[in-house]
Amino acid sequence: MIRPFSINEVYFLLTAIQWTLALSAVAFAGGAIGGLAVALARVGKSRYLSLPALAFIRLFQGTPLLMQLFLTYFGLRFLGLGISPFAAAAIALTLHASAFLGEIWRGCIEAVPQGQSEASWALGLSYFDKMNAIVLPQAARIAVAPTVGFLVQLIKGTSLASIIGFVELMRAGQIVNNATFSPFKVYGLVALLYFLLCWPLSILARRMEGRYAAMAKR
């Protein structure tokens, strides 16, 4: 039976935002850890680390996120692991974020002037001390804007988790639409909520890019 679109449906969509944010936070935190490891492996001198890291990046950047979600959820279930949709989406999105953040941060590390590394060697600093005290702090300032920009993409990417049954904002919209058959109202509100989540971060990323560009000219 079709019911009218009411305040109860609006409240259901609003409560679903918490799951979108939770999935985004878990994936971003895991992706930050994995991305840092991938970036350091890529800029290191060991081929045994850089080549697997490059293959990892190519794999996850070269395949659709939707397929990664499918393979994670159904693949683990095929292996006999009773994984929840949230856990599967978190794993897939963490791997996805690790690949993209790893490549973003690799570029930021390599953007630090080579003279900085040469000076650290002249001072007798170890590789760890060089990265920890000189290279990474400078790379972090460069990386802030593109990292925030990727976070926006990650939040929007969580909508694909609806395909494996995880009830985040997009899946909640599908449920409400099936009950009310009001696609314009439902998906219009869902789009507005995604916009309100992502727009402030997009503005922040642009301002940070402008600030870094102004600092670089000085």
pLDDT given at position 215: 61
Is residue 18 in a domain? yes
pLDDT given at position 129: 77
Task: Judge whether residue 160 has pLDDT over 80.
Answer: yes
Range of the domain at 212: 7-217
Gap between the Cα atoms of 40 and 146, Å rounded: 18
Structure confidence by residue, pLDDT tens digits, 74-98: 999 888 888 999 999 999 999 999 9
Is residue 153 in a domain? yes
How buried is residue 111: exposed, middle or buried, by Cβ count under 10 Å (0-12/13-18/19+)?
exposed
Is residue 1 in a domain? no
Is residue 2 in a domain? no
- Kindly tell me the sign of the dihedral angle through the C-alpha atoms of 149, 147, 98, 92: negative
Contact, 194 vs 156, CB < 8 A? yes
Structure confidence by residue, pLDDT tens digits, 25-83: 999 999 999 999 999 999 988 889 999 999 999 999 999 999 999 999 999 988 888 89
Is residue 209 in a domain? yes
Q: Report the domain count for the chain.
A: 1
Structure confidence by residue, pLDDT tens digits, 163-191: 999 999 999 999 999 999 999 999 999 99
pLDDT given at position 192: 96
CATH of the domain at 85: 1.10.3720.10
Contact, 31 vs 91, CB < 8 A? no
pLDDT given at position 1: 73
